[in-house]
A = this chain, B = another copy of it.
Amino acid sequence: MREVFHKYRDIEIRAPRGTALNAKSWLCEAPLRLLMNNLDPEVAENPKELVVYGGIGRAARNWECFDRIVECLKNLEEDETLLIQSGKPVGVFRTQRDAPRVLIANSNLVPHWATWEHFHELDARGLAMFGQMTAGSWIYIGSQGIVQGTFETFVEAGRQHYGGDLRGRWLLSAGLGGMGGAQPLAATLAGASALLVECQQSRIDFRLKTGYLDEQARDLDDALARIARYRGAGRAVSVGLCANAADILPELVRRGVRPDLVTDQTSAHDPLNGYLPRGWSWVEYRERASRSPAATVAAVKRSIAEHVQAMLAFHELGVPVFDYGNNIRQMAKDEGVENAFDFPGFVPAYIRPLFCRGIGPFRWVALSGEAEDIHRTDAKVKELIPDDPHLHRWLDMARERICFQGLPARICWVGLGQRARLGLAFNEMVRRGELKAPVVIGRDHLDSGSVASPNRETEAMRDGSDAVSDWPLLNALLNTASGATWVSLHHGGGVGMGYSQHAGVAIVCDGTDEAAARIARVLHNDPASGVMRHADAGYSEAIACARERGLKLPMLGDA
């Protein structure tokens, strides 16, 4: 008898809080709570369908798999490892105490078959799951996760294009989903106003409610009037507009409106699920996508092409335009927009210098569920990194402006050296009882050493090694060898099937000596592997960082 599996369940999941264990150790309790936290209605975009963020990025393949993962984690011994294959728990093996408790591989396909078409075929047969980056690897923390990255990006863009001052400037973008929802807040934190086009009212409501978005305009005229007003007053306010970006951007080009920064965070990487074609309602889109997928994808791609053509028009006018990691240029190029790649991706434009020093989206979550635990760690970060005013400003703003979603968490871009120091300090705080319960540390897969994605993180590498994916695989193997608590290897995150391979890691600070030893290894080796990757590609900042931190990179010459 073939079992029936369910992708929908009318249920609300919330991670357990407090100090009582549901599993046999904190090393198993942590992935259990984080899996559940990924599906908390405060955190996930569509939790009843197991969708966390980023199109159809799921936390488990179906609800039966979810149940079984929970059961496995509750019963897992301290020297056992659970294997997750595209959101399905496939095996429990005896390994070692200092090995990961969970090993995850999501959405990986042999390259020749690594297309959305084949993925959807497998998905329809219950054989696949799209893990995105932190959805299937259980370390998504809601929109905050991306806020600092987006903030850093806008700040750096401001530095490069507007002398570091974004006052009176405004950003034009679209998409207020799990990731994109961070844009309005990041823009205002960086000092700019923003106009965000989003086609689903529910998404706008969600961002208004959480304070990420300041207000909503009635229509385009109203939106432009508001922006003009705030610019004039030198105020940074974000304005949402419920409309289709493929209508609005070309219209703005026609009207000769000139934004100061243009980007996009619709889920263009996934034409079947994540981008609304012009002239359709969302309900119609979902319905047609399941009825006639090929025709739907064709319609989506036509709209994307028009959208990108408008972005190119802004680019030609000299407006700074960048691809924000949703593969929209590739989709347009496939549709015949030959010069789609004329504007850059955000990584080479703004982020790579950070990656060269192992700086990336470090984050941690308070398993206690207490906001106070995060506030204490915030203070600890300031204490240990006293000389970084930018970081302090971020922490202050985050505390003031960012609502926690699900388990309290903090993100904070720090690099090699700092990560291990913070991790050890947090572990010490747990040991001394300064925190109410253990903390789990993780990061996005979009990080220094953990991803190969030639249209995004590894676009335009100095040596041309954009597509070499040995690096994320080595990163995952090294983190496993170093004793991380869970490690994941995914394909297709961010930019969709065929375009990326990437690795995730999470590690628990339970206050023990064993944890301290693991933290020292993992939180050094993980960012160090990013410095190594960039040094190997010939970036002088990375080579300097490697020398300074005493990394052993055998082929690094003396030149």
Tell me which of A69, A109, A121 has the highest count of chain B C-beta atoms within 10 A of its own C-beta.
Answer: A109
Across the interface, do A110 and B454 meet the contact criterion of CB distance under 8 Å?
yes
Cβ distance A290 to chain B, nearest Cβ, rounded Å: 20
- Write the chain B residue with the least CB distance to A458: B110
Of the candidates B91, B128, B474, B529, the one whose C-beta lies within 8 Å of that of A468 is B128
Question: Which stretch from A33-41, A226-234, A479-487 is at the chain B interface?
Answer: A479-487
Interface string of A55-74 (1 = CB under 8 A from B): 00000000011001101100
Query: With an 8 A cutoff between CB atoms, is A138 at the interface?
Result: no
Cβ distance A473 to chain B, nearest Cβ, rounded Å: 4
Across the interface, do B85 and A471 meet the contact criterion of CB distance under 8 Å?
yes
Query: With an 8 A cutoff between CB atoms, is A221 at the interface?
Result: no
Across the interface, do A88 and B555 meet the contact criterion of CB distance under 8 Å?
yes
Of the candidates B82, B93, B100, B113, the one whose C-beta lies within 8 Å of that of A525 is B93
- Write the chain B residue with the least CB distance to A64: B555
Of the candidates B3, B89, B110, B491, the one whose C-beta lies within 8 Å of that of A500 is B110
Known contacts A110-B501, A127-B465, A559-B1; is A95 also within 8 Å of B481 by CB? yes
Across the interface, do A498 and B553 meet the contact criterion of CB distance under 8 Å?
no
Across the interface, do B478 and A552 meet the contact criterion of CB distance under 8 Å?
no
- Write the chain B residue with the least CB distance to A93: B525
- Write the chain B residue with the least CB distance to A131: B470
Across the interface, do B108 and A468 meet the contact criterion of CB distance under 8 Å?
yes
10 contacts between A and B (CB under 8 A): A1-B557, A82-B554, A89-B554, A91-B552, A92-B552, A96-B481, A108-B452, A108-B501, A111-B499, A127-B465
Cβ distance A533 to chain B, nearest Cβ, rounded Å: 8
CA distance A203 to B280 in the complex (A): 65
Segment 83-129 of A: residues with Cβ below 8 Å from B: 83, 85-86, 88-96, 98-100, 103, 105-114, 118, 121-122, 125, 127-128
CA distance A58 to B331 in the complex (A): 36
Number of copies of this chain that the complex holds: 2
Known contacts A463-B127, A528-B93; is A105 also within 8 Å of B501 by CB? no
Across the interface, do B464 and A125 meet the contact criterion of CB distance under 8 Å?
yes
Query: With an 8 A cutoff between CB atoms, is A205 at the interface?
Result: no
Tell me which of A3, A452, A481 has the highest count of chain B C-beta atoms within 10 A of its own C-beta.
Answer: A481
Query: With an 8 A cutoff between CB atoms, is A477 at the interface?
Result: yes
Of the candidates B92, B464, B497, the one whose C-beta lies within 8 Å of that of A554 is B92
Query: With an 8 A cutoff between CB atoms, is A244 at the interface?
Result: no
Across the interface, do A86 and B452 meet the contact criterion of CB distance under 8 Å?
no
Query: With an 8 A cutoff between CB atoms, is A156 at the interface?
Result: no
Known contacts A81-B478, A478-B81, A532-B91; is A470 also within 8 Å of B108 by CB? yes
The size of the chain A interface, using a CB distance under 8 A, is 85
Query: With an 8 A cutoff between CB atoms, is A252 at the interface?
Result: no
Across the interface, do B470 and A105 meet the contact criterion of CB distance under 8 Å?
yes
Tell me which of A81, A85, A498, A551 has the highest count of chain B C-beta atoms within 10 A of its own C-beta.
Answer: A85
Across the interface, do B125 and A468 meet the contact criterion of CB distance under 8 Å?
no
Query: With an 8 A cutoff between CB atoms, is A453 at the interface?
Result: yes
Interface string of A530-559 (1 = CB under 8 A from B): 001000100000000000000111110101
Across the interface, do B3 and A99 meet the contact criterion of CB distance under 8 Å?
no
Segment 500-532 of A: residues with Cβ below 8 Å from B: 500-501, 521, 524-525, 528-529, 532
Cβ distance A471 to chain B, nearest Cβ, rounded Å: 7
Query: With an 8 A cutoff between CB atoms, is A300 at the interface?
Result: no
CA distance A95 to B64 in the complex (A): 36
CA distance A487 to B559 in the complex (A): 32
Across the interface, do B521 and A96 meet the contact criterion of CB distance under 8 Å?
yes
Residues of chain B within 8 A of A96, CB atoms compared:
98, 481-483, 521
Known contacts A525-B95, A554-B72, A554-B91; is A477 also within 8 Å of B105 by CB? yes
Segment 383-416 of A: residues with Cβ below 8 Å from B: none
- Write the chain B residue with the least CB distance to A481: B99
Query: With an 8 A cutoff between CB atoms, is A418 at the interface?
Result: no
Cβ distance A370 to chain B, nearest Cβ, rounded Å: 32
> Given A103-B474, A106-B470, A114-B114, 9 other A-B contacts at CB below 8 A?
A68-B555, A69-B554, A71-B554, A92-B552, A96-B521, A110-B500, A111-B114, A122-B464, A480-B481
CA distance A468 to B122 in the complex (A): 9
Query: With an 8 A cutoff between CB atoms, is A469 at the interface?
Result: yes
Residues of chain B within 8 A of A113, CB atoms compared:
454, 466-467
Residues of chain B within 8 A of A179, CB atoms compared:
none
Listed from nearest, the 8 A-B pairs whose CB atoms lie closest are A111-B114, A113-B467, A111-B111, A105-B470, A99-B481, A92-B552, A89-B554, A112-B498
Cβ distance A100 to chain B, nearest Cβ, rounded Å: 6
Known contacts A474-B105, A478-B103; is A3 also within 8 Å of B557 by CB? yes
- Write the chain B residue with the least CB distance to A557: B3
